[in-house]
Structure 1
Amino acid sequence: PAELTVLRAGGLALDLRTRRVAVEEASVDLTAREFSLLELLMRHPGQVLTRQQMLSHVWGYDYDPGSNVVDVFVRALRRKVGAERIVTVRGMGYRLTG
């Protein structure tokens, strides 16, 4: 089977080959880290991901887990792809809604 190169979730399309993201068919520019974070969320739709999981996957273990870098990037992503798509699960982390 052909390798999946485009991830889709509720109006979002993320092309792993071209590193392009579309929201409802409109192209959106993301930084490399934003792209990685969105890719992680889109690979686990509906699943709650902890900040620690996000930190280790997107930034590597050399970042301080007490850092708010995940929250800052989630805010930036929400502005670009729509706040309603990324849900905060209090005390847990974040999840992507479909």
Structure 2
Amino acid sequence: MLTREQLLDHVWGYDFDPGSNVVDVYVGYLRKKVGSDAVETVRGVGYRFRPA
């Protein structure tokens, strides 16, 4: 499981910017490619990859 802050830091090298939606946009792209069930949103925490 990764938080939005961890994704921003590890993937883009950004410090957390609460106004940025870059993580949400790319999670959407990822869901289109691998299936919406494969990437689970953990409310209040972050995202989790759930392989089939």
Bin of the TM-score, shorter chain as denominator length: 0.7 to 0.9
TM-score, with length taken from structure 2: 0.86
Structure 2 residues without counterparts, runs of 5 or longer: none
Indicate the RMSD between aligned Cα atoms, in angstroms: 1.2
Question: What's 1:49 paired with?
Answer: 2
Report the Cα offset of residue 86 of structure 1: 0.2
The structure whose Rg is larger is 1
Structure 1 residues without counterparts, runs of 5 or longer: 1-47
Deviating beyond 4 angstroms after TM superposition, the runs of 4 or more aligned structure 1 residues are none
The structure where strand makes up a greater share of residues is 1
> Which structure's relative contact order is higher, taking Cα pairs within 8 Å and 6+ residues apart?
2
Q: Provide the C-alpha distance between the structure 1 equivalents of 2:21 and 2:14, rounded to a whole number of angstroms.
A: 14
The structure where helix makes up a greater share of residues is 2
Percent identity between the two aligned chains: 60
Q: Provide the C-alpha distance between the structure 1 equivalents of 2:9 and 2:30, rounded to a whole number of angstroms.
A: 18
**Equivalent residue pairs, number:** 50
Report the Cα offset of residue 61 of structure 1: 2.3
Q: Provide the C-alpha distance between the structure 2 equivalents of 1:60 and 1:54, rounded to a whole number of angstroms.
A: 9
